[in-house]
Chain A
């Protein structure tokens, strides 16, 4: 079983478009949406929800007003400025529990925090594991880990070949959590100076954690000079480019229709993505033999 994560650093480069298309192209797989902050993959896959589970993670301090003698020690020691006027701001509270340990009158307790949901759904492409982090919540990395764990379990139980995951933007906690131990990261970039800058940083994260990375240049014809530069930089760093996808409004139109672009059109974008999936899946199966 192989686990592929699609990342990009910069948002909006086309991660979900690629994962939605792979969902339609790959044979034996489970899909996972690791962008738990702003999950969009379900919009392309029309899932029907089979299981919904609460995600409890972390704690929040809670001050009992009747017991509190307003000594102010908690406010003084909290490094996250989460206590003001003897009240806890749950958004700033990191759940470290320091205040509850030091309160001389034991007025502070730590309460478990329900920070979101994860779901298992059926789609016409196979099972999908997705999640919704509560608004303004922490611990997105742990929710990503929960999504991946469910996907892995499904893949093992049903003996599936692939876990294909849509990743979050950025390089921080949820990205690191979605990246550890995967077979391969596909980095979707675009030929803009921002996209190129962000690709550098997400490539650095893959290297840092020892994950093999491949690159896809989306909208490559938007700026062919930049595309050439990405190609030469990838070449010099020994990173393979597995696909170049044209800039075409057909992608947006397919999103509006709520279907993967490869099912919406048989134009050049579809052919380019099909070619990329063929290359990717061949590399992965060769890798497993070697």
Chain B
């Protein structure tokens, strides 16, 4: 089962929920935590894993053999991203703009374009306290997180439970991280910002036909509009975490909630049970 943890708004507690859920489940199932927030991966801060290995993430970019090139301009014409240009008797490539589609090399009439790999990030994996961690890291200065996210997800072991920590937002990196999940937990906070971005996140997961439920973090401060919204939209609130300075301090020190305050483990196990029950119910109704 793949459970993704997303939010729309940043800083609502995705990492807190993902790490504590993974640590709570390790006694009952084989658990993997996949950090797909490759721009700012933070799960490792809490799990402190021993990194056992890594793999570079690369995309294929064009390399032009000018001895074969006739400067016909076909490559520049077919490139949708302006990553290759022909100026007189020169071919210029802009690897940072290249999406690696392969059109230029395939369509070059002189076979003058080959492809070479360019690293844009790295995947690292390791273990910590019975949880397998896989994290992707986009190289600083690189613009495209999606290939790194795609690579992290190749490491998912379908036999166990995989928790996917999703980047904030609603655009392509979020879609790449969330798709193929069996269930998506949306973490939010009871403020107008939290509600605005929750509604966007709900639209995103609905677009992907993934069932979702809400984790309400920092409850107590703010207003009741998130609860009203969830009721109206028929979205279950599966876990509520209060605003608590002690929880915030543990977080600031990189201590997972279920380690600093072990009484929370029960709540995370209950969260998992509720997610499973919702899944069973859904599968049952689909079969019928």
Name A's B-contacting residues (CB within 8 A). Answer: 9-13, 16, 37-38, 40, 43, 58-59, 77, 79-80, 91, 94-98, 101-102, 133, 135-138, 140-141, 168-176, 190-194, 197-198, 201, 204-205, 208-209, 222-223, 226, 247, 249, 252-253, 255-256, 258
Q: Is A94 in contact with B145, judged by CB distance below 8 angstroms? A: no
Q: Is A10 in contact with B40, judged by CB distance below 8 angstroms? A: yes
Q: Is A136 in contact with B141, judged by CB distance below 8 angstroms? A: no
Specify the chain B residue showing the minimal Cβ separation from A39.
Answer: B196
Chain B residues whose C-beta falls within 8 Å of the C-beta of A59 in the assembled complex: 80
Specify the chain B residue showing the minimal Cβ separation from A195.
Answer: B252
Q: In the bound complex, what is the Cα–Cα distance between A78 and B252 (angstroms)?
A: 44
Choose from A40, A94, A190, A204 the contact partner of B9 (Cβ within 8 Å).
Answer: A40
B139 to chain A, nearest CB (A): 9
B residues 137-175 near A (Cβ < 8 Å) are 138, 140-145, 167-175
Q: Is B172 in contact with A138, judged by CB distance below 8 angstroms? A: yes
Is the CB of B208 closer than 8 A to any CB of chain A? yes
Q: In the bound complex, what is the Cα–Cα distance between A140 and B168 (angstroms)?
A: 13
With contacts A16-B193, A201-B140, A255-B193 known, is A170 near B102, CB below 8 A? no
Chain B residues whose C-beta falls within 8 Å of the C-beta of A95 in the assembled complex: 80
Q: Is A136 in contact with B207, judged by CB distance below 8 angstroms? A: yes
Q: In the bound complex, what is the Cα–Cα distance between A40 and B173 (angstroms)?
A: 19
Specify the chain B residue showing the minimal Cβ separation from A204.
Answer: B140
Choose from A9, A58, A174, A190 the contact partner of B40 (Cβ within 8 Å).
Answer: A9
Chain A residues whose C-beta falls within 8 Å of the C-beta of B173 in the assembled complex: 172
Specify the chain A residue showing the minimal Cβ separation from B10.
Answer: A11
Q: Besides the contacts A37-B169, A102-B106, A137-B172, what 15 more A-B pairs have beta carbons closer than 8 Å?
A: A11-B168, A12-B9, A40-B193, A79-B102, A91-B179, A98-B101, A102-B107, A135-B207, A136-B174, A136-B207, A170-B39, A172-B138, A174-B171, A193-B252, A249-B243
Chain A residues whose C-beta falls within 8 Å of the C-beta of B143 in the assembled complex: 141, 172-173, 176
Chain B residues whose C-beta falls within 8 Å of the C-beta of A223 in the assembled complex: 249, 252-253
Chain B residues whose C-beta falls within 8 Å of the C-beta of A97 in the assembled complex: 78, 80, 103
B152 to chain A, nearest CB (A): 15
Q: Is A101 in contact with B221, judged by CB distance below 8 angstroms? A: no
23 pairs of residues in contact across A and B, judged by CB atoms under 8 Å: A10-B11, A11-B12, A16-B193, A37-B174, A38-B170, A40-B192, A43-B196, A97-B80, A135-B200, A136-B171, A140-B169, A169-B11, A170-B40, A171-B39, A172-B173, A173-B144, A176-B141, A193-B253, A197-B45, A198-B42, A222-B249, A247-B248, A258-B192
Q: Is A222 in contact with B9, judged by CB distance below 8 angstroms? A: no
Chain B residues whose C-beta falls within 8 Å of the C-beta of A192 in the assembled complex: 251-254
B200 to chain A, nearest CB (A): 6
Q: In the bound complex, what is the Cα–Cα distance between A197 and B245 (angstroms)?
A: 21
Q: In the bound complex, what is the Cα–Cα distance between A10 and B143 (angstroms)?
A: 16
Name B's A-contacting residues (CB within 8 A). Answer: 8-12, 15, 39-40, 42, 45, 60, 78, 80-81, 99-103, 106-107, 138, 140-145, 167-175, 179, 191-193, 196-197, 200, 203-204, 207-208, 218, 221-223, 243, 245, 248-249, 251-254
Q: Is B204 in contact with A135, judged by CB distance below 8 angstroms? A: yes
Q: In the bound complex, what is the Cα–Cα distance between A98 and B81 (angstroms)?
A: 12
Chain A residues whose C-beta falls within 8 Å of the C-beta of B8 in the assembled complex: 37-38
B114 to chain A, nearest CB (A): 16
Q: Is B103 in contact with A98, judged by CB distance below 8 angstroms? A: yes
Q: In the bound complex, what is the Cα–Cα distance between A201 and B9 (angstroms)?
A: 19
Q: Is B42 in contact with A135, judged by CB distance below 8 angstroms? A: no
Q: In the bound complex, what is the Cα–Cα distance between A169 and B41 (angstroms)?
A: 12
A250 to chain B, nearest CB (A): 10
Interface centre among B39, B78, B101, B200 (most CB of A within 10 A): B39
Q: Is B196 in contact with A194, judged by CB distance below 8 angstroms? A: no
Choose from A43, A96, A170, A205 the contact partner of B167 (Cβ within 8 Å).
Answer: A170
Q: Is A249 in contact with B221, judged by CB distance below 8 angstroms? A: yes
Specify the chain B residue showing the minimal Cβ separation from A116.
Answer: B171
Chain B residues whose C-beta falls within 8 Å of the C-beta of A77 in the assembled complex: 102, 106
Q: In the bound complex, what is the Cα–Cα distance between A191 and B15 (angstroms)?
A: 16
Q: In the bound complex, what is the Cα–Cα distance between A256 and B145 (angstroms)?
A: 33
